[in-house]
Structure 1
Amino acid sequence: MDVGALLLRCEIVAGRIDGILLADPDLAGLWRTEVALLEAAASVGLEGERISTAGMVMRLTSNLAIEEESRTTEMALRMLSVLKRPGNIFNAPVETMGRIEAAASPVGQARDETDRLDDRELALVVDEGRRWAHFPILAGWRAAAVYAFRSRRESPAAERLVFMAVEGAARHLIGLSPVPSAPPPDDGDAQAAILMRASAGWILAPSVAMARNGLRIWSPLSGIESFLDAASRALSQDLGQLGTLRHELSRLDKVVAGVSGRSRMGDLVALLRKQPVVSSAMVRDRASAAGQRWRSSRSWRRPAAS
């Protein structure tokens, strides 16, 4: 299959996924949260470091990550923050590119300032993506290629973040994805990265695509045919995965339908639908707030004594 046909196939499947997610915000949040975790771990893995999604979560919830993984996990969590809330790179190119470069920098390694791109060059990277916005996947690839060329391939991890930020922004620009949320004020905080709800417009996760069906080399300066072939397979699998996630959401609804009385299961399920990854403190606060609302409602309904 030639490059044009592969690109068209990818865009068609990505468009189908986008439409399903737009129609079901809870499903979109659950799917993007899951894919963002996988992408952060896979992208770090392509840099020669191994970390599991479970390792990232356990480091924050139980401090069980081994010492050798701690720096790798920190880098993955910084990338996760950008993946979940990339913002709109077309509206704020320099600021968004700065976040991407900071997130993709290996922990403990100083970057060579002589090779840093200036603001004008960063804007040119984003402009290249905007030129191809009518094909979001191609827009992401072109922007990543320009960044790779201008940065002398110093940070392949940043190239992949550029791809996803531009691909998501392009979908919003042509009227597909909703307005992305702004980056959180505590951007880069590990706890915020793992717990915050995903609010982005991207569909294709490049690291996951290249690692899912046999490891492939990421190189936006060449090899687009290999990339699109891997992307096509991955997007088709993601389309099938949406059915599984919908089934899980339906199971949660059935659990709620079966509870009665003062059970707080309904409040927990409502929280999980909006926030797939939670902490015990979040559950406790939600239960406490729900209990206060229930008591207030009972007090308001109680008839006055005669």
Structure 2
Amino acid sequence: MGERAETTFDLLLGTEIRAARIEGLLRADPVVAAQWRAEAAIAEAVASIGLDDVQLSEADLLVRIAESRAQGADAPAVEDALAVLRFLRAPGDPLGDPVGVLSRIARLARRDTDADETPAPAEELVDVFAGVRGRAPVLEALRAAADYAWRTGRLSPVAERMVFVAAEGAARCAGPGRARGSRADDPLRGLGGRIDADWIALPSLALTRGRFRSWSPGNARGARDIVEGIAVVLDQEIGRVIAIRSWQEAVKRAGEGRHGRSRLLDAGRAFGLEPVMTAAILASRLGMTPRGATNVLVELEGRGLVQEITMRRAARIWATPGLAAKLAGARTTGTRARARLDGEKPPVALGEGEAPAGGLRQRHLKEETEASVQRALAEFDRSLAEVDEILARPVARREQGEILAHRTRT
């Protein structure tokens, strides 16, 4: 391998290590995992649509859900973001049920394409997950996305990114049968319910946080941009993990010394696993009346453990502080959402995950020829072979030691 290839491999190895570090923290604590993925999924959904040159903010999702009627010129884009969000929250099992996962991705692709373009049948695409074996999740996800992009003629970049997410999460499970599906009873259309996913690296955030790069997994420069961006994002996410842990400690302190009938601690724990809820949802989770749930929510809000993000008398929604900052604005929580819900023009601001004005159009990118994609796939395979060699060394040394020990005994 040449000098640049070695440098790229070192970059990839460092990114894999960063992702493994966060994966370890999340596997050790389901509350941290639920909140971290809930926040990241919302940012990724908005960023994925933003890569198509449609400016959205996380607050737009809240407005769309809180309002029961369609309004605004960006309503279709918000619906697309919500569809992506629902997939991110529960990608399914691409190893045990590749047709099911690819069929869901095809529905996202149809939202992203013209009426006269039809995605290939899912049964013809199942091989895109054939290389997902848990050796190097980020690299395997890149290869799957590039393969899907080539097989579908770059029909839907959004769908390609969902293939990346599904493959990356599946690689961390190291086998089929892990992921299941989304809750059918979520009245918040993707904001609520429990997360059922294993992904760590998110491709759209990698290309839009702090910069803007085009999504192009099928060529060397595009793949390197994705890996570099993932490394940057993962370094930043450690701070968010620490903030969620601090929230957990605050919940525990709030529950100390409470009398036996208090549901404050139970409510805090419920928000740990479902960071966005209404009073009705919380009442259902805890087996209490909506009025009792509202009283507990008011007490949690007074302690700074949750925040109301709609600021309305009806259809009120609460969220943990991290998600409240995303959905209603980090500096003036509730102000942007309240302005949109009341029909006022919101302040113009470029939120995390939004594309800058005049950003690059992502749909129907045809610049990657079959030869260039085949070169990229071959390079992915060479890198995976090198990973296999590295992983095999400890096994080979152990087997060699066992052989020598046997010879010594005999």
TM class by smaller structure = 0.7 to 0.9
Cα distance in 2 for residues equivalent to 1:240 and 1:283: 28
User: What's the secondary structure of 1:193's corresponding residue?
Assistant: coil
The amino acid of 1:123's aligned partner reads V
Cα distance in 2 for residues equivalent to 1:95 and 1:182: 11
Cα distance in 1 for residues equivalent to 2:183 and 2:34: 20
Cα distance in 1 for residues equivalent to 2:234 and 2:52: 23
Match of 1:267 in 2: 266
Equivalent runs, 1:274-289 vs 2, <5 Å: 274-286=273-285, 288-289=287-288
User: What's the secondary structure of 1:146's corresponding residue?
Assistant: helix
Kindly tell me the number of residue pairs found equivalent between the two proteins.
Answer: 283
Identify which of 118, 121, 127 aligns with 2:121. 118
Cα distance in 2 for residues equivalent to 1:256 and 1:105: 48
- Give deviations 1:115-143, integer Å, cap 9, x for gaps: x223443112121x32x631110110000
The amino acid of 1:31's aligned partner reads W
- Return closer, same or farther for 1:50/1:138 CA change in 2, 3 Å cut-off: same
Cα distance in 1 for residues equivalent to 2:252 and 2:80: 36
Matched, 1:173 2:170: no
The amino acid of 2:150's aligned partner reads F
Give the RMSD, CA atoms, in angstroms: 2.5
Equivalent runs, 1:101-250 vs 2, <5 Å: 101-106=106-111, 109-110=114-115, 112-113=117-118, 116-127=119-130, 129-130=131-132, 133-173=134-174, 180-184=178-182, 186=184, 191-222=188-219, 223-250=222-249
Cα distance in 1 for residues equivalent to 2:160 and 2:192: 25
Deviation at 1:285, TM superposition (A): 3.0
| Counterpart contact for 2:113–2:155, Cα < 8 Å | no
| Counterpart contact for 2:38–2:89, Cα < 8 Å | yes
Deviation at 1:66, TM superposition (A): 4.3
User: What's the secondary structure of 2:238's corresponding residue?
Assistant: helix
| Counterpart contact for 2:64–2:70, Cα < 8 Å | yes
- Return closer, same or farther for 1:26/1:272 CA change in 2, 3 Å cut-off: same
Deviation at 1:219, TM superposition (A): 0.3
- Give deviations 1:88-116, integer Å, cap 9, x for gaps: 10111111011012134337953513xx2
Identify which of 69, 73, 85 aligns with 2:90. 85
Larger radius of gyration: 2
Identify which of 36, 41, 45 aligns with 1:36. 41
Unaligned runs of 5+ in 1: 292-306
More deviation, 102-111/251-260: 102-111
- Return closer, same or farther for 1:182/1:232 CA change in 2, 3 Å cut-off: same
**Matched-pair identity in %:** 35
Deviation at 1:271, TM superposition (A): 1.3
- Return closer, same or farther for 1:16/1:211 CA change in 2, 3 Å cut-off: same
| Counterpart contact for 2:95–2:177, Cα < 8 Å | no
- Return closer, same or farther for 1:241/1:169 CA change in 2, 3 Å cut-off: same
The amino acid of 2:29's aligned partner reads D
| Counterpart contact for 2:161–2:203, Cα < 8 Å | yes
| Counterpart contact for 2:92–2:181, Cα < 8 Å | yes
Deviation at 1:276, TM superposition (A): 0.7
User: What's the secondary structure of 2:129's corresponding residue?
Assistant: helix
Deviation at 1:257, TM superposition (A): 2.0
| Counterpart contact for 2:96–2:177, Cα < 8 Å | no
| Counterpart contact for 1:180–1:201, Cα < 8 Å | no
Cα distance in 2 for residues equivalent to 1:270 and 1:247: 14
Deviation at 1:267, TM superposition (A): 2.6
The amino acid of 1:7's aligned partner reads L
| Counterpart contact for 2:206–2:228, Cα < 8 Å | no
- Return closer, same or farther for 1:274/1:195 CA change in 2, 3 Å cut-off: same
Identify which of 85, 90, 98 aligns with 2:103. 98
Which has the larger helix fraction?
1
| Counterpart contact for 2:112–2:158, Cα < 8 Å | no
Deviation at 1:273, TM superposition (A): 1.1
Cα distance in 1 for residues equivalent to 2:114 and 2:247: 41
Cα distance in 2 for residues equivalent to 1:225 and 1:14: 16
More deviation, 74-83/277-286: 277-286
